[in-house]
Structure 1
Amino acid sequence: MSEESVVKRDVVQGSARGGAVLLVTVGILEVLQGLSAIAKDEVIVTGIDYTYQFDLTAWGWTHLVLGAIVTAAGIALFTGAAWARVTAMVICAVSILVNFLWLPYYPMWAITIIALNAVVIWAVSTWHPDKDRVAQPNPPAR
């Protein structure tokens, strides 16, 4: 096995593990965002005329449930299972959509989560676990 293939394998595995860590982080941020909305925190702007305006408590529960699902998908992603990768990409796409609709309430928080979700989608979609399983050379016989 060449040194170049070892480096490529390590970079790919690192980006996949990094994607899993980021996904868990995004899930925790979503949960915190949901708790802030449920508690009707003062940092969240209310009273705007917005097409997708819901009750702040409804938004809070939406983010709380989505955060729990995102966190669970991030934990499952550590296994490297194909279904976890697909689930992570789908749930990140849903999270991007929800946070786009949430933009008028807390723009910087929503943009941060959208950007993190985009990075997770990139990391998970570029990870090929079957290419990671490069045959290790046999140890020398004694």
Structure 2
Amino acid sequence: MDVTERSAAGPARQPLLAAALLTAAGLVDAVSAWAHTRHGRFAVATADGVYQVDLGAWAWVHLAVGGAVVLAGLAVLGRRRRAVPLAFCCVLPAIVVDLLLFPYAPVRAVIVVALDGAALRLLARHHRSTRAEDQPRRGAAG
């Protein structure tokens, strides 16, 4: 396989990899959120004492956002027409929710935000390259 064949195959695989990353990140979010709906209490120690924090409502929000990211990943996999804007609209709130819940599950939050960010970068690069191919070339004598 020479360089031109490799470079032509790379952009075609970007949406497939992005769909896999989005689906995996959404599943991790949904499964961990489902676990927090059952046992979402954390003990927080401060200088004034120990408090119990219930994250039940945040867990339901997290579950909905994780489900939306899974659906966005499946839409990208199915190469739907508006899959890229849908993915951006679903993943950005997911990143915000993961960062808000960072103190309670830091390792999972870092992994999921990294997966979401990598998927968004792949989708943005692919979307930009396909838009550049669709635009007519300027300066061509015709």
Say whether the fold is shared (TM-score over 0.5).
yes
Matches for 1:38-53 after TM superposition, within 5 Å: 38-40=37-39, 45-47=42-44
State whether structure 2 residue 56 is matched by structure 1 residue 57.
Answer: yes
* Correspondence for 1:30: 29
Q: Which amino acid aligns with 2:92?
A: A
Q: Counterpart in 2 of 1:69?
A: 68
Q: Which has the higher contact order (CA 8 A, sep 6+)?
A: 1
Aligned residues: 125
TM-aligned CA deviation for residue 91 of structure 1: 1.4
Alignment partner of 1:47: what SS?
strand
What's the CA shift for 1:48? 5.8
Q: Cα gap change, 1:48/1:125 in structure 2, threshold over 3 Å: closer, same or farther?
A: farther
After superposition, what is the alpha-carbon deviation per residue over 1:57-104, rounded to whole angstroms, capped at 9, x for unaligned?
A: 111111111111111111010122341111112211111111110011
- Tell me the residue number matched to 1:140: none
SS at match of 1:103: coil
Percent of matched pairs sharing the same residue: 23
One-letter identity of the residue aligned with 2:34: L
TM-score (norm 1): 0.77
What residue is the counterpart of 2:11 in the other structure? 12
Query: TM (normalized to structure 2)?
Result: 0.77
Instruction: Tell me if structure 1 keeps the 8 A contact 2:18–2:123.
Output: yes
Q: Per the alignment, do residues 7 and 62 of structure 1 end up closer, same or farther by CA in structure 2, a change over 3 Å counting?
A: same
8 Å contact kept, 1:30–1:67: yes
Deviations 1:22-66 (A, max 9, x none): 11111111111111211116xx744367xxxx7411111111111
Structure 1 residues 117-132: aligned runs within 5 Å:
117-128=116-127, 130=130
Q: 1:48 to 1:13 in 2, by over 3 A?
A: farther
* Shift in CA distance, 24/79, structure 1 to aligned 2, threshold 3 Å: same
Q: Which residue of 2 aligns with 1:110?
A: 109
Alignment root-mean-square deviation, CA:
2.5
1:9 Cα offset (Å): 2.3
Determine helix, strand or coil for the equivalent of 2:39: coil
Q: Which residue identity is paired with 1:17?
A: L
Contact 1:31 1:64 in 2 (8 A): yes
